[in-house]
Amino acid sequence: MISDLVDYLNNNLLIAHYCGFDISRPLPSYWTFDRFLKNFDNDLLSAIMKSQVLLLAEKGIVDTSFIGLDSTPISANTSQNNPKSFVSNKCKPDHQPTAYADCKLGVHTASNQTNEKKYEFYWGYKNHVLVDCISGLPIYEITTTAEAADSSVALDILADTHRFLPITECTFLADKGYDVKNIYNQISQLYNGECIIPLNKRNTKNPKLLPQGNPVCEAGLAMWKDGKFSDNGRTRQKFCCPLKNSKNEVCPCHHKNFYNGKKHRGCTKYITVPDDLRLSIDRDSQYFKNTYSLRTECERYNSRFKNTGQERMWVRNQASVTNLNTLAHISLLAVAVAAVTTQADQSYRKLKSIKRIA
């Protein structure tokens, strides 16, 4: 909080002096820091973060062979994020918090398990971080409002990162929120890399299939192939009822579509033909499982990022939130830079270890 920062500097004038303040005069007030966070150009902070990443890359600490992308929810300091609040319409998109004019309503999944559907709504923002899955250090970050989908900013983040740190032949790791066809194609075509992303089934059903690949209808009969067709960039195989042209047979389960009075009657099913990169990945292989386990570095870094106090913001605009997030990443990268520069036998991911050296 800014008030804590002001109190700390006033009670530790030596630290204020090292930060560049003139301690012979009154230190800046709360509102001075507040205006600084709101009006300061975030591009300057991003340039500092990029210089840190490039320095660590030259030292051989940061590498883009295995990179992971994940987002962290950042809640606004509003009563509508209080689970004990009795406001009936607190999670309605048209019920904007009064003090936060630019935050949006988003949803946060409370579990990464595929068989659990736990989620919660919140008002606030998102911080998207690209992490080196070997060193566990951030490479690039961006802050958006909470309603932005993770997959919608992934390609922009990769393109911006590639401009100052090449990600050619990278292995991109992400959760199922990034399971979008465009991400697979762009990484393969532009960066000559590969994606390790779990399949997001998107509420699709898994029909019972025979060894030959034909589905089974509700009556237990093997369905027949009835041609292929393409739509929305995908190819689907159509299967039809084996009795649809029969004049004497009747449907054993009395399906409603069998008695529609049409020549081509009976039920139909469709199966997407795996003709793209997204569906051609063997997600049951040991290689996929071992490589995907590296994505836990994203979770570890998000935990360190939240410990800096970024999980719930006290400032009331997106510009200040963006600057605070970038400053938090710069601080965590500074720990690694200090450990590498001093050549101390300490972890470059532990803030307490660096404090002991100092």
pLDDT at 111: 59
The predicted pLDDT at position 292 comes to 93
Residues 34-49, mean pLDDT to the nearest whole number: 93
pLDDT of residue 230: 81
What type of residue sits at position 29?
S
Per-residue model confidence (pLDDT) at position 50:
96
Residues 6+ apart with CB under 8 A from 156: 142
Helix (H, G, I), strand (E, B) or coil at 187: helix
**Which pLDDT band, with edges at 50, 70 and 90, does 262 fall under?**
low
Mean pLDDT computed over 78-95:
80
The percentage of residues in the chain with a pLDDT greater than 90, rounded to a whole number, is 44
Lookup: tokens for 260: 């529609």
**Greater model confidence, 337 or 112:** 337
* Start-to-end Cα distance in the chain: 25
- The Cα–Cα gap between 58 and 46 comes to 18
Q: Does pLDDT of 66 surpass 90?
A: yes
CA distance linking residue 303 with residue 62, whole number of Å: 19
What distance in Å separates the CA atoms of residue 247 and residue 227, rounded to the nearest whole number?
Answer: 22
Residues in the chain: 358
The 10s digit of each residue's pLDDT in 328-337 is 999 999 988 8
Q: Encode pLDDT of 124-166 as tens digits.
A: 999 999 999 999 999 999 999 999 999 999 999 999 999 999 9
Residue 129 has a pLDDT of 95
**Nearest CA among 1, 12, 125, 14 for reference residue 73:** 125
DSSP states of 138-171: EEEEEEEETTS-HHHHHHHHHHHHHHHS--TT-E
pTM score, whole prediction: 0.80
Tell me how far the alpha carbon of residue 40 is from its chain's centroid.
26
**How is 97-152 classified by DSSP, letter by letter?**
-SS-SS-EEEEEES---TT---EEEEEEEEEEEEEETTTTEEEEEEEEETTS-HHH
Which domains occur in the chain, in start order? 2-36 (no CATH), 62-199+283-317 (3.30.420), 224-280 (no CATH)
What does the mean pLDDT of the chain come to? 85
- Walk across the sheet containing 234-240 and list its strands: 224-231, 234-240, 268-272
